[in-house]
Amino acid sequence: MPTCVPVKDLRDTAAFVELVKASPEPITVTKNGYDEFVCVRSADYRRLEQAQARADLLARIAIAERERAQGDGVDAFEDIKAARLAYGL
């Protein structure tokens, strides 16, 4: 069950920190009955960042595979070889 706490409960910072540490899910902080922000443990946030980075990478790989299948892509090794020849590197 999601945990929601009013913003006034943040006055007791030690208790709030313990609540965030002990909760297996994010804590939603509300102000005047509306969601204001969400708190998560640092380790959980890092996992979320890594999952987003993986998703972004997979999306880019899917685009590259689609371009390659359509014949729009260029082989990187051939392109580097051509650049070296063109610029005498």
Cβ-contact 62, 54 below 8 angstroms: no
Among 59, 8, 6, smallest CA distance to 34 is for: 6
DSSP 8-state code for residue 74:
-
Q: How many residues does the chain have?
A: 89
Q: What is the mean pLDDT of residues 38-46?
A: 95
Tell me what pLDDT residue 89 has: 83
What pLDDT band is residue 54 in, cutting at 50, 70 and 90?
very high
Q: At 60, list the tokens.
A: 């880019």
What whole-number percentage of the chain has pLDDT above 70? 99
Domain residue ranges of the chain, discontinuous segments joined by +: 3-40, 44-87
Query: Does domain 3-40 match CATH 3.40.640.10?
Result: no
Angle at 25 between CA 33 and CA 21, to 5 degrees: 100
What whole-number percentage of the chain has pLDDT above 90? 76
Cβ-contact 41, 21 below 8 angstroms: yes
31 pLDDT more than 80:
yes
pLDDT digits (tens, 9 = 90+) for 62-78: 998 998 889 887 788 98
- pTM of the predicted protein model: 0.66
Terminus-to-terminus CA distance in the chain, angstroms?
Answer: 62
Tell me what pLDDT residue 1 has: 67
